[in-house]
Structure 1
Amino acid sequence: MSKTNYQVLKHEVELLRLPKLYDSCVVKYIDFAEHEHFGYLFLQLCEYNLEEHIRNNDGILRPEKLVHDVLDGLRALHCQGPQILHRDLKPQNVLIDVNGRARLADFGISRRLPKNQTTYHTRSAGTEGWMATETLKEDGDIRYKSSTDIQVAGMLIYFILSGGHHPFGGERYKLMSNIKKGKYKLEHVQDVVAKDLIEKMIDKEPKNRPRVEECLSHPFFWTSTKKVQYLRQVGNMKEVASRTNVNQELILMLDECAEGVLYNQWKTKFSPDLLLRADDKKKPYPENILGLLRFMRNLQEHYPDDAASVDLTSLFPHLFGCVYKFTIRQGWNLENPLKEMFKPEKTGGANRHEVEPINDEEHVGLAVQESEHTFTEPTADAKSSIGRI
């Protein structure tokens, strides 16, 4: 970068040199050197950016893994002490390295907050179409918080899972208007659990958006084992456990949440021998979703060896999404024991108290240590060689 715009480059170096970022999904810093007219920032080799990956649609990388990488990179920033706000998340600033891992990049306008502060007051910054609702105000005092990054990260997640669509859609003027109004469509993503995560992240109100740790603890990222554990807990609910005086409204609501997937022949998925041992002869399990949930619960409780040999999430791939949608409607996830399953793992990071405004021109206070190597501008032959590495 030309030294006429040198501070942006040095600012990025200062951030990338932070030791805690090295093993995260943030692009790795390698070295820094100066020439008479230019500064050079050396980063790990990346193949292409997220926009190019989605546009090429090569299908090699799992979208769910890319989503996790984006949020893991954001966790490395937000859970720093002090916290770092990226402020320019967009598909072009997510790079894919040679191992297929997504990494956050371009920290030219990022800011590291003073200790114990979580809000950064400044003018609007970012890229049109990839800016949070609260940053589109007419006045110049914008309050950037970690929740600002979260909303844009939610847009990125939809972009990944939908194959290149934007949740706020539309032409340029309509896109910005939709972000301001909080008007979105998620029609290009069918997974109800993924939709739930995206909706929480892109909420118009910053205070309603989850922290990045909560995003990574969302059921979208749960293992098959944890999903089965969740279904087992639902099967323990008194409304589900009863096989007499069954609430028909619950069955109708579950069928509605199943969105056309039928469960009236679920017993055919299990071996006759297993059914013979596990089914209740006097009160057989009804052939509906409630009966399946109760059967799964009892299988886990009383026949753990048999349960371990059955891949329940593969047998019923849509069941978890259906039940999760149902429990949200019922409000059961807000109560124990289900509530306990949503607690994020404890991570470090700044607390979330309100803070005083800070100057927009303040940068990270760490001194940049330039490379000890002498840097000579590459010749044409050398440039050609570098391009082949």
Structure 2
Amino acid sequence: MTAAVSSAAACCGSSGWQAPEQLLYGRQTKAIDIFSLGCILYFCMTKGRHPFGEPLERDLNISNGKIDLRLVDCIPEADDLLSRMLAHDLTMRPTAQEVLLHPLFWTDEWRLQFLKETSDRIESAHEKSNLVVAIEEIHLTARHKRWDKKLGAAFISNVKSGPRRYNFHSICDLIRVIRNYSIHYNQLPINIQKLLGPLPSGFYGYFASRFPNLLMEIHKIVYQYHREEEWYENFVERMRRANGRF
């Protein structure tokens, strides 16, 4: 560790858990608490591992922005939130409110509800809108460009037999399938219900296990372009009240 880092780090806080601007310049901001919380959250999720390595190397790694989140990269929601909370640039870190309302902490019921309401918003959007264009550019898998290839033959057969025609290359249509099948779940054949699992967790898990980054990629786009729209604000407010997050 350099003398500059050692000197600044001595101001306050525990070694290995301080933000880079605190270590390097002794700066005290709200963002340093978000950084420290990110370290703690990673520690809890990984049963005692640290995103900046072993104790003796942490301060130097933090100062140099040398981070390792590989243990959570299989959880897109965690990877997204932690990478932002632990950003070297303090202006890139979320606020406490944004952390609290991040999809990582949503229940399966609210994750499914978000996809359904996003699908309704897509239906009213122009095909050249920022929302539609950005969603259609999402890459769900490296192997398949058609989302039907990731779903069971029995399910796709049922999709094809329905009155609506879906484009298997369209991410917007995938979201619409999720929306329509969840809304009309009770009218589905028993074998399809068993395949998808019970609402909400089994059903959501069926799609999330096949497209693990779908929710997070869509949320990034919606948050970028539509977080100030009434439908999204209403969604967040209902979720906050339902979970007691005021």
TM bin, normalised by shorter chain, reads 0.5 to 0.7
1:265 to 1:131, Cα distance in 2 relative to 1, 3 A = closer
Distance 1:248 1:204 in 2: 30
**Backbone CA RMSD of aligned residues:** 3.9
Distance 2:16 2:86 in 1: 13
1:285 to 1:228, Cα distance in 2 relative to 1, 3 A = same
SS at match of 1:183: coil
Is 1:228 matched with 2:115? no
1:241 to 1:322, Cα distance in 2 relative to 1, 3 A = farther
Is 1:312 matched with 2:203? yes
State the match for 1:285 in structure 2: 166
2:12 aligns with one of 94, 105, 125:
125
SS at match of 1:257: coil
SS at match of 1:188: helix
SS at match of 2:70: coil
Unpaired runs of 5+ residues, structure 1, are 1-122, 349-389
Larger radius of gyration: 1
Structure 1 residue 171, shift from structure 2 partner: 6.8
1:180 to 1:339, Cα distance in 2 relative to 1, 3 A = farther
1:314 to 1:327, Cα distance in 2 relative to 1, 3 A = closer
Distance 1:312 1:264 in 2: 18
Per-residue CA deviations over 1:343-389 (Å, capped at 9, x if unaligned) read 684877xxxxxxxxxxxxxxxxxxxxxxxxxxxxxxxxxxxxxxxxx
Q: Give the structure-1-normalised TM-score.
A: 0.45
Is 1:327 matched with 2:218? yes
1:299 to 1:316, Cα distance in 2 relative to 1, 3 A = closer
1:265 to 1:128, Cα distance in 2 relative to 1, 3 A = closer
State the match for 1:49 in structure 2: none
1:326 to 1:214, Cα distance in 2 relative to 1, 3 A = closer
Structure 1 residue 286, shift from structure 2 partner: 3.3
1:295 aligns with one of 177, 181, 187:
177
1:266 aligns with one of 145, 148, 151:
151
SS at match of 2:97: helix
Structure 1 residue 147, shift from structure 2 partner: 2.5
Per-residue CA deviations over 1:150-184 (Å, capped at 9, x if unaligned) read 211101212222333322226724x2222123331
Structure 1 residue 324, shift from structure 2 partner: 3.1
1:240 to 1:167, Cα distance in 2 relative to 1, 3 A = farther
State the match for 1:164 in structure 2: 48
SS at match of 1:159: helix
1:146 to 1:259, Cα distance in 2 relative to 1, 3 A = farther
Structure 1 residue 332, shift from structure 2 partner: 2.7
Aligned length: 211
State the match for 2:94 in structure 1: 210
Distance 1:290 1:264 in 2: 16
Task: Say if 1:132 and 1:179, in contact at 8 Å, map to a contact too.
Answer: yes
Distance 1:259 1:294 in 2: 22
State the match for 1:359 in structure 2: none
Q: How does 1:337-352 map to 2 (within 5 A)?
A: 339-340=232-233, 341=235, 345=240
Is 1:178 matched with 2:68? no
Distance 1:203 1:170 in 2: 19
Distance 2:133 2:45 in 1: 35
Task: Say if 1:218 and 1:342, in contact at 8 Å, map to a contact too.
Answer: no
Task: Say if 2:52 and 2:61, in contact at 8 Å, map to a contact too.
Answer: yes
Per-residue CA deviations over 1:193-237 (Å, capped at 9, x if unaligned) read 111111121122334322333212110111111111111133231
SS at match of 1:166: coil
Structure 1 residue 265, shift from structure 2 partner: 5.1
Instruction: Compare relative contact order (CA 8 Å, sep 6+) and give the higher one, 1 or 2.
Output: 1
1:136 to 1:241, Cα distance in 2 relative to 1, 3 A = same
Give the percent of matched residue pairs that are identical in Structure 1 and Structure 2: 23
1:221 to 1:241, Cα distance in 2 relative to 1, 3 A = farther
Task: Say if 1:266 and 1:287, in contact at 8 Å, map to a contact too.
Answer: no
1:188 to 1:263, Cα distance in 2 relative to 1, 3 A = farther
1:159 to 1:143, Cα distance in 2 relative to 1, 3 A = same
Bigger fraction of residues in strand: 1
1:157 to 1:188, Cα distance in 2 relative to 1, 3 A = same
Bigger fraction of residues in helix: 2
Please tell me the residue identity of whatever aligns with 1:323. Answer: L
Unpaired runs of 5+ residues, structure 2, are 1-9
